[in-house]
Chains A and B, each alone.
Chain A
Amino acid sequence: MRWLERQRCFMDFTLSSLGRRKRKNFALIAVYVLIVFMLCSVIFFTNALRRQAETLLDDAPEMIVQRMMAGRQELIPIDYGDKIKSIRGVRSVEPRLWGYYFHPANRTNYTLLASSEAAYGDQSIEVGQGVLRTWQADSEGKLYFRAYDGEALALKVSKAFDAATDLVSSDLIVMTEPTFRRLTGMPDGFATDLSVQIRNERECAIIAEKIASTLPGARPILRQEIIRTYSSLFGWRSGYMIVLLSGAILAFFIFAWDKATGLSAAEKTEIGILKGIGWDSSDILVMKFWEGTIISLTAFLLGVIGAYLHVFLASAPLFEHALKGWSILYPSFQLQPEVNLYQLAVLLFLTVVPYTLVTIVPIWRVSVMDPDVVMRQG
């Protein structure tokens, strides 16, 4: 109880003290908030992207099999699927037809995908939000394509994908298989790759080995590898951002060191007075600890709240171009809030603790001086 009362009194004094040096403390908190805001925005943004990619890939097949020739991807014969299906543990094999379409006027690459589940006819397509934004449909809702043989092809947009899936569907155009073959000239009996469903995911690696030995030239790609690739892609990008920010972080710590440790003569006198009237060194350290904690915690909370609003409400306008998108079509979508408490705790530890320590050490040096110095000032 006495301990609590002491802390309450020290806090009261600390708050009054902070109010006396408004300009200095305001400048310190402003820079501090900015640093936490930037770091936290990168963390929030990267995590949300990674999480979104993982959610989308949850429904992806366990394995994709491609055919390689001279180190390049080639079309794969659909009858490869029968050989793969005969391997124990494989549930099903589906050929996938997909590719790219370059629109010269827009100077944009779109992704084409054939779907066997398409509930519309050969003259209709489904498109992503990015396609609608960049490729103006005519008054009847049709998009005009030039097929592989130079013939014009008009396809009607029957549906647009939800903006929530924009990360992967922004540039996507989905059509029936015959329309896809008509547009791209892909011969019958061939597909871009094969999607393989496996009964027990733990057997993926073994099955992949069997496929590679049964079908020379086949390249199996596991879902876990795709997830890992996404993860390292976003991790690499955020790491790059943090390296760029590290200069700013270093500058902040130099600034904080200067502001926090540059004790003025008035502050030194004040410590002398407190010692003279009965405070001991540990009381002064506790008071300064509260001062450092209040400043750093306030900055941390403001920075985190600002980053949350910046990333999840405003879609991170400050650095979305650096962190998301890898083609001409930048996806426009609202990120689902995803807060990793462990990373927040690490950020809290890396910002609040060093600052508090940085402020305490020089105070300790002053606080151990003999209080009789104060008797001699006058």
Chain B
Amino acid sequence: MIKLLQVSKTFNAGKPNAFTALKEVDLNLDGNKVVIFKGPSGSGKTTLLSIIGCMARPTSGRIFLNGREITSLPERFAAQTRRNTFGFVFQNYNLVRGLSVLENTMLPAYPSGRRYRLIKQRALELLEKLRIDAKAQLKVEYLSGGEQQRTAIARALINDPELIIADEPTAHLDTELSAAFLDIVSTLKEENKTVLIASHDPLVFESPVADRVVSLRDGMVIDQGISL
């Protein structure tokens, strides 16, 4: 499904503070699997997910999604790919403050041109499925950490993407809420979604829900992982 060939990423290239976050990464990721990227801080997990998710361009190397090259798409097409193919759950959830749970969930679908009524209906269904529908009209700043994460997951699913990308999803959660998150991941897997998670939380990369664990260190893949 996703293929990376010799992908490198250097920030501030040519300047004294240049920093290479990824070094010649080769990777093949199959669809309908849960893949965990593990490694210490600064190992390149987030950069790798950003590049796969069309949020940043690699300095060198090529990336293919379902056989189509997405290495250096123009901004408009990169945004379209992000919107239609990927759903993102950010580390601190990145919900828009001042808006309700429902409005936050609907946001990624606004530029799609779908009918407002249908977007709202889909958002309400997702919130119900994630058991947060009772708080649909509540502003997100009044939610607990777990509720914020479920809102972020609902938002990631609004456009029914093939791939979900989650960056350190359990960083701000206790054990019980982390387990609840993994249950949701398990459900997504049953729905044939591909889930890519960056985490250094053992609860995540040791979880039975993971199909493959890829280890990174210093911007390099040190273990391609094994199918569990």
**Does A pair with B?**
yes
- Measuring CB to CB, which residues of chain A are less than 8 angstroms from any residue of chain B? 1-3, 5-6, 8-10, 12-13, 16-17, 19-20, 266, 269-270, 272-283, 368, 370-372, 374-378
Residues of B within 8 A of A270 (CB): 96
Contact B94 A273 (CB under 8 A): yes
Contact B113 A377 (CB under 8 A): no
Contact B103 A277 (CB under 8 A): no
Contacts between chains A and B (CB distance < 8 A), count: 113
- Most interface-central of A8, A17, A372 (chain B CB within 10 A): A372
What residue in chain B is nearest A272 (Cβ atoms)? Answer: B94
Residues of B within 8 A of A6 (CB): 110-113
- Most interface-central of B49, B113, B171 (chain A CB within 10 A): B113
Residues of A within 8 A of B94 (CB): 269, 272-273, 276, 374, 377-378
Please list 23 pairs of residues, one from A and one from B, whose beta carbons are closer than 8 Å in the complex, sorted by A's number. Answer: A2-B113, A5-B114, A6-B112, A9-B110, A16-B98, A16-B99, A266-B97, A273-B95, A276-B55, A277-B83, A277-B107, A277-B108, A277-B155, A278-B82, A278-B84, A278-B111, A279-B79, A279-B83, A279-B108, A279-B111, A280-B111, A281-B75, A283-B110
Q: How far is the CA of A19 from the CA of B103 in the complex (A)?
A: 13
Interface size class of chain B, counting residues whose CB lies under 8 Å from the partner chain: 35 or more
Residues of A within 8 A of B90 (CB): 273, 276, 374-375, 377-378
What residue in chain A is nearest B165 (Cβ atoms)? Answer: A375
Contact B103 A16 (CB under 8 A): yes
Cross-interface CB contact of A20 among B49, B50, B82, B99, cutoff 8 Å: B99
Residues of B within 8 A of A3 (CB): 113
List B residues 68-111 near A (Cβ within 8 Å): 75-76, 78-80, 82-84, 86, 88, 90-92, 94-99, 103, 106-111
Cross-interface CB contact of B56 among A19, A272, A370, A378, cutoff 8 Å: A370
Residues of A within 8 A of B112 (CB): 6
CB distance from B227 to the nearest CB of A (A): 27
Binding site of A, secondary structure by majority: helix, strand, loop or mixed? Answer: helix
Residues of B within 8 A of A272 (CB): 94
Q: How far is the CA of A210 from the CA of B207 in the complex (A)?
A: 110
Q: How far is the CA of A282 from the CA of B111 in the complex (A)?
A: 10
Q: How far is the CA of A20 from the CA of B94 in the complex (A)?
A: 17
- Measuring CB to CB, which residues of chain B are less than 8 angstroms from any residue of chain A? 46-47, 49-50, 55-57, 75-76, 78-80, 82-84, 86, 88, 90-92, 94-99, 103, 106-116, 119, 155, 159, 167-168, 171
Contact A277 B168 (CB under 8 A): no
Residues of A within 8 A of B113 (CB): 1-3, 5-6
What residue in chain A is nearest B77 (Cβ atoms)? Answer: A280
What residue in chain B is nearest A277 (Cβ atoms)? Answer: B108
Residues of A within 8 A of B155 (CB): 277
What residue in chain A is nearest B110 (Cβ atoms)? Answer: A9
Contact B75 A280 (CB under 8 A): yes
CB distance from B71 to the nearest CB of A (A): 15
Contact A9 B119 (CB under 8 A): yes
Residues of A within 8 A of B92 (CB): 377-378
Residues of B within 8 A of A282 (CB): 76
- Whether A278 touches B116, Cβ cut-off 8 Å, given contacts A266-B97, A370-B56, A375-B46, is no
Closest 10 CB pairs between A and B? A278-B83, A2-B113, A280-B79, A20-B98, A378-B91, A378-B92, A9-B110, A372-B56, A372-B50, A372-B55
Contact A5 B116 (CB under 8 A): yes
Contact B115 A5 (CB under 8 A): yes
CB distance from B154 to the nearest CB of A (A): 12
Contact A276 B88 (CB under 8 A): yes
What residue in chain A is nearest B56 (Cβ atoms)? Answer: A372
CB distance from B86 to the nearest CB of A (A): 8
- Most interface-central of B86, B94, B112, B168 (chain A CB within 10 A): B94
Contact B159 A370 (CB under 8 A): no
Q: How far is the CA of A277 from the CA of B164 in the complex (A)?
A: 12
Residues of B within 8 A of A13 (CB): 103, 107, 110
Cross-interface CB contact of A280 among B80, B88, B91, cutoff 8 Å: B80
- Whether A12 touches B107, Cβ cut-off 8 Å, given contacts A276-B55, A277-B83, A376-B46, is no
Contact A12 B171 (CB under 8 A): no
What residue in chain B is nearest A374 (Cβ atoms)? Answer: B94
- Whether A279 touches B55, Cβ cut-off 8 Å, given contacts A16-B103, A273-B96, A377-B94, is no
Q: How far is the CA of A281 from the CA of B111 in the complex (A)?
A: 11
Contact B107 A378 (CB under 8 A): no
Q: How far is the CA of A3 from the CA of B113 in the complex (A)?
A: 6
- Most interface-central of A1, A3, A275 (chain B CB within 10 A): A275
What residue in chain A is nearest B57 (Cβ atoms)? Answer: A370
What residue in chain B is nearest A281 (Cβ atoms)? Answer: B75
Cross-interface CB contact of A12 among B76, B97, B116, cutoff 8 Å: B116
- Whether A378 touches B168, Cβ cut-off 8 Å, given contacts A278-B159, A280-B76, is yes
Cross-interface CB contact of B55 among A1, A280, A371, A377, cutoff 8 Å: A371
CB distance from B84 to the nearest CB of A (A): 8
- Whether A274 touches B116, Cβ cut-off 8 Å, given contacts A376-B46, A378-B90, A378-B92, is no
